[in-house]
Amino acid sequence: MVLMSGSEYRESLKRRKPLKVHFLGELLKNPFDHPIIQASVNSVALTYELAEDPQHQPLMTATSVLTGNTINRFCHLHQSTEDLQAKVKMLRLLGQRCGTCFQRCVGMDALNAVFLTTYEIDQKHKSDYHQRFTDYMKLVEEGDWVIDGAMTDPKGDRGKRPSQQADPDVFVRIVKRQKDGVVIRGAKAHQTGAINSHEHLIMPTLAMRNEEKEYTICCAVPVDAEGITYFYGRQSSDLRRLDHTREGDIDCGNPRYGGQECLVVFDDVFVPHERIFMDGESDFCGRLVSTFAGYHRQSYGGCKVGVGDVLIGAAATIAEYNGVGTASHIREKIAEMVHLNETLYACGIACSAQGTQTLAGNYLIDLLLANVCKQNVTRFPYEIARLLQDIAGGLFVTMPSAKELKNPDTRRILEKYLVGAEGVNPLNRIKMMRLIENLTLGRAAVGYLTESMHGAGSPQAQRIMIKRLANIEEKQQYAKSLAQIEE
């Protein structure tokens, strides 16, 4: 198997050993039967379904540099700046189609970062990590796996290093060495699509020091490995999915698709040697962290733009439904939404077009421009969402429950008083208002707003990288030369 279908992906989740998933105060017996989790599976399945669609196959698939097979682009090692740009375009397409997080880009970014870093480690330390990882990549491609790129540790006291924590387990670490591998303990937080994945690709969360070698571990473990427990994250308005009626679906805003985040706890999980890709090489932690972060910050110039397209469409539609679609101030606000959204896309494309080939052979984006891209993403989606809320009016947060539509008497009253522009079905107006609530306050807002702020590193992380990569000294020389200053 090289390309899975959407249905085959769903079946692959069921073939795994039972997962230990806690949600809403209970240990779930059948997690994938839960309506909240089903919506997140639908989002990942879309990455397979579009790869089956002849219209989208050129964007959704690529040719493996390792085997020559046609593979899903999410399993691909970027081979050109065109590949990097195609990635951004693919993520925008998926954001447009599901209106939320489709959970697969973090794994793609981790695969590319680990590939180039293992090569560089081997060059210096004469290790064999890169061959191990190349062999692993072939399995990823052949299985068309979803990879959970697991970098963020809980961190504990942010003012202290991993080795200084009162509880050493707040950073993933090696607790035991065996002849055939190692045993790890700790946790990874905010893990996008964790239980919808096939493998966790674990990476250090920051640049480690020499005395922190037990924390300097990069490895892969199956999602169903013994010793892993999942705590499924709550999202705003998530309980609305527990109402299975059609009217209840209206209150969801986006009935089919949803995101997923988990706290993943590794309680003495065994990792065989062939799945270890860094073990104590603290001098390369910074390289791995910065390249993964750079790739993932590039991703936000695609996925958040795609969801932004949905917000813009919702703004134009609700303006028409409200009867103000031609008002000049509405058109100006929508134009500003487009300007902000396309600026994010331009950054994603720019850092891709300026990418360069690494020593390992795959391509890396321009790290400075990728950080600029993500810095803009921490701001612009909030303004786009504010403008959408402004255009929508207050009804999107004060509407009665869709359950009132089940009663013919109350439905008649609601349709009478929630009417908008002449000729518009009031039910369509209600549905659009609920989508707007979902996008800016509800479940999708986690993936569009909060993730825009904190995903791939919080704003200060990008500012640190921007200052580090900006080459201010060179810019000073430009200014001094023009001012004819000699020092």
Q: How far apart are CA 301 and CA 350, in angstroms?
A: 10
Joined tokens for residue 164: 């200084």
Residue 410: inside a domain? yes
Residue 245: inside a domain? no
The mean pLDDT value for 60-64 works out to 98
pLDDT confidence bin for 247, thresholds 50/70/90: low
What pLDDT shows up at residue 208? 95
Give per-residue pLDDT as tens, 15-27. Answer: 999 999 999 999 9
pLDDT confidence bin for 432, thresholds 50/70/90: very high
- Catalytic residue selected from 192, 216, 378, 440: 192
What pLDDT shows up at residue 243? 79
- The set of residues, in sequence order, having a beta carbon less than 8 Å from that of 218 and lying 6+ positions away, is 114, 117, 201, 202, 203, 204, 276, 277, 278, 279, 288
Q: How far apart are CA 151 and CA 189, in angstroms?
A: 8
Residue 6: inside a domain? no
Q: Is 234's pLDDT higher than 80?
A: yes
Burial class, 379, CB count within 10 angstroms (exposed 0-12 / middle 13-18 / buried 19+):
middle
Residue 448: inside a domain? yes
Reduced to 3 states (helix: H, G, I; strand: E, B; else coil), residue 411 is helix
CB 51 within 8 A of CB 72: yes
Q: Which domain holds residue 336?
A: 288-470
What pLDDT shows up at residue 446? 86
Has 398 been annotated as catalytic?
no
The mean pLDDT value for 454-467 works out to 94
What pLDDT shows up at residue 97? 98
Joined tokens for residue 460: 């200060």
Q: Is 245's pLDDT higher than 80?
A: no
- Catalytic residue selected from 300, 321, 363, 448: 300
Could you tell me the CATH number of the domain that includes residue 348? 1.20.140.10
% residues pLDDT > 70 (the chain)? 99
Helix axes 328-353, 285-322, angle to 10 degrees: 160
pLDDT confidence bin for 242, thresholds 50/70/90: confident
Has 303 been annotated as catalytic?
yes
Q: How many residues does the chain have?
A: 487
Give per-residue pLDDT as tens, 202-230. Answer: 999 999 999 999 999 999 999 999 999 99
- Catalytic residue selected from 75, 98, 105, 218: 105
Give per-residue pLDDT as tens, 295-352. Answer: 999 999 999 999 999 999 999 999 999 999 999 999 999 999 999 999 999 999 999 9
Give per-residue pLDDT as tens, 159-172. Answer: 999 999 999 999 99
What pLDDT shows up at residue 416? 95
Has 300 been annotated as catalytic?
yes
Give per-residue pLDDT as tens, 378-423. Answer: 999 999 999 999 999 999 999 999 999 989 999 999 999 999 999 9
What pLDDT shows up at residue 244? 65
pTM above 0.85, yes or no: yes
Burial class, 395, CB count within 10 angstroms (exposed 0-12 / middle 13-18 / buried 19+):
middle
Of 192, 202, 241, 264, nearest to 451 by C-alpha is 192
Has 347 been annotated as catalytic?
no
Lowest mean pLDDT among 116-120, 144-148, 233-237: 233-237
- Catalytic residue selected from 120, 141, 261, 281: 261
- Catalytic residue selected from 34, 76, 78, 296: 296
Q: Is 246's pLDDT higher than 70?
A: no
Q: How far apart are CA 276 and CA 209, in angstroms?
A: 19
Has 296 been annotated as catalytic?
yes
Residue 367: inside a domain? yes
Has 404 been annotated as catalytic?
no
Residue 462: inside a domain? yes
Q: Is 1's pLDDT higher than 70?
A: no
Q: Tally the domains of the chain.
A: 1
Has 219 been annotated as catalytic?
no
Residue 476: inside a domain? no
Residue 375: inside a domain? yes
Burial class, 487, CB count within 10 angstroms (exposed 0-12 / middle 13-18 / buried 19+):
exposed
% residues pLDDT > 90 (the chain)? 94
- Catalytic residue selected from 75, 98, 101, 252: 101
